Amino acid sequence: MTDEAGGPRVGIIGPPSDPQVSLLARKIEEAGGRPAVLDVPGMPANAPFEIGRGRLVLGGVDLAEIGSAYVRQIGSWWPLPRSEFTADEWPAQRQVYEEYRVEEPWRVALRQVLVWLLARRVPVVNAPERNVLHWTKPAQVWTLARRGHDVPATAAGNDREALAGFLERQGGRALYKPQAGYVYAKVLDAEALGCQEIGFCPLQLQRFVPGENLRVYVVGERAIGAGVLLHDEGPDSRIGQQGVRVAQPPEAVLAAAVAACRALGLEFSAVDFQWDCNRAALLEANTSPMFAGFEEMTGIDVSGALARHLVERALSRKPVLHSSQQGRNLM
């Protein structure tokens, strides 16, 4: 939406303290838009809202004024300062934990409702049904494999015998990856699998592919830039981060990143490959990647490209790409 004050109003869904949020807000202004930070993760305690017939208001912002929106984060972070406590420390933290355990599910549902309703009015990047791909990584892998992408052999589940068979077929070792979230990836062998608790915590195992971790940022139908994530020895690029080296992968790799986003219905993503001179194996497409640090280390203007895309989407107000139109065959 535009008014006398200037360009279209673009919503950024996420906490104001997130560096990605503040950087993108500045770039939206530079692109001629008017950013509105929508603190959906702060609902309901820190962000008063109203959901009524034909009316959506959050933190004093009438969402009817929003022309497009970007989803950085909907949920909230774990409220406890760390995951382990002594017996003496735990009683003081238990009330916080119990409140989170009981109340957070309905708070998350409420936030999702607001974003889904907004997405039925205006373009939302990425659309809610696309964002859930972060939590359903096996669906990503199988979708991309069906579309002909070079994806490492993968197995997911909690059937220990089946996972052991997969591990044996991969030469006795494979990469253990979390379904989503904050568990670090690691190399797993048969002995480690035997010690792993998987009854209530399913695993995703993937054939280990040597090489460097290449990340390609995609906005719309264009690869914006790429970099190799430098880190300590090990399979997880989040451990011992040392920086990013700007990369110039072959056009075929850039095209594969764009095609992967198209297959998954993503308008913005950071697509990760395991890359060497012989192969670029596609690992996953991140639905809401961080980009502020990447920009600082590489000079690649990811946020500027995303801001321009959001402003263009707000001006065109083209129909939103829902699962019935794009990325529909996920399985």
DSSP label of 221: T
List strand residue ranges (DSSP E) for 165-301, in order: 173-177, 186-189, 203-206, 212-219, 222-231, 241-246, 268-275, 280-286
Q: Do 29 and 117 belong together in one domain?
A: yes
CA separation for the pair 263, 144 (Å, rounded): 7
Kindly state whether residue 39 falls inside one of the protein's structural domains.
Answer: yes
Which residues form the domain of 158? Answer: 153-206
Spatial neighbors of 139 by CB under 8 A, at least 6 apart, are: 133, 330, 331
- The pLDDT score that the predictor gives to residue 319 is 46
162 lies in the same domain as 123: no
* Inside any domain, residue 177: yes
pLDDT at 330: 42
**Do 178 and 214 belong together in one domain?**
no
255 and 280 both lie in a single domain? yes
Q: Write the CATH number for 25.
A: 3.40.50
Looking at the structure, do residues 21 and 125 belong to the same domain, yes or no? yes
- Please indicate, yes or no, if residue 94 is contained in any of the structural domains: yes
Q: Considering the domain boundaries, does residue 199 fall inside one?
A: yes
**Residue 170 in contact with residue 210, Cβ under 8 Å?**
no
CATH of the domain at 220: 3.30.470.20
Same domain, 39 and 113: yes
> What is the Cα–Cα distance from 169 to 105, expressed in whole angstroms?
39
pTM flag (> 0.75): yes
Whole-angstrom distance, CA of residue 32 vs CA of residue 314 = 11
Q: Is residue 70 part of a domain?
A: yes
CB atoms within 10 A of CB 12: 27
157 and 185 assigned to the same domain: yes
Domain boundary among 131, 162, 195: 131
Whether residue 245 sits in one domain with residue 190: no
List the pLDDT tens digit at each of the 331 positions of the chain: 555 467 999 999 999 999 999 999 999 999 999 999 999 988 888 888 998 877 899 988 999 999 999 999 988 667 777 667 788 888 888 888 888 888 888 888 888 899 999 999 999 999 998 988 887 888 899 999 999 999 999 998 888 889 889 989 998 888 887 665 556 677 777 777 776 666 666 788 899 888 899 999 999 999 999 999 886 665 655 555 678 999 999 999 999 999 999 999 999 999 999 988 778 999 999 999 999 999 999 999 999 999 999 999 999 876 444 443 444 444 3
Judge whether 118 lies within some domain.
Answer: yes
Last residue of a domain, one of 173, 206, 239: 206
Strand order in the sheet with 34-38: 34-38, 9-13, 66-71, 124-125
Domain count, the chain: 3
24 and 91 belong to one structural domain? yes
120 & 32 share domain: yes
Q: DSSP states of 132-187 as a string? A: GGGG-HHHHHHHHHHTT-----EEEES-HHHHHHHHHHTTSEEEEE-SSSSPPPEE
What's the pLDDT score for residue 152? 93
**What does the block give as tokens for 190?**
């048969």
Per the domain annotation, does 96 fall within a domain?
Answer: yes
Whole-number Cα distances in Å, 148 to 126, 143, 171, 260, 276: 23, 9, 24, 10, 20
CA distances from 161 to 155, 168, 196, 198, 257 (A): 12, 11, 13, 11, 34
Q: Which two tokens stand for residue 209?
A: 């592919």
Among all chains, which residue has been given the structure tokens 């264009």? 222
List, in order, residues 6 or more apart from 76 with CB less than 8 Å away: 41, 42, 104, 107
Q: What is the pLDDT of residue 196?
A: 66
Residue 252 amino acid letter: A
- Residue 111 located in a structural domain: yes
Same domain, 171 and 66: no
Query: Helix or strand or coil: residue 13?
Result: strand
Q: Are residues 198 and 267 in the same domain?
A: no
Whole-number Cα distances in Å, 87 to 84, 91, 92, 93, 99: 10, 8, 10, 11, 19
Residue 88 CB contacts under 8 Å (≥ 6 apart), including other chains: none
CB contact at 8 A, 256 and 275: no
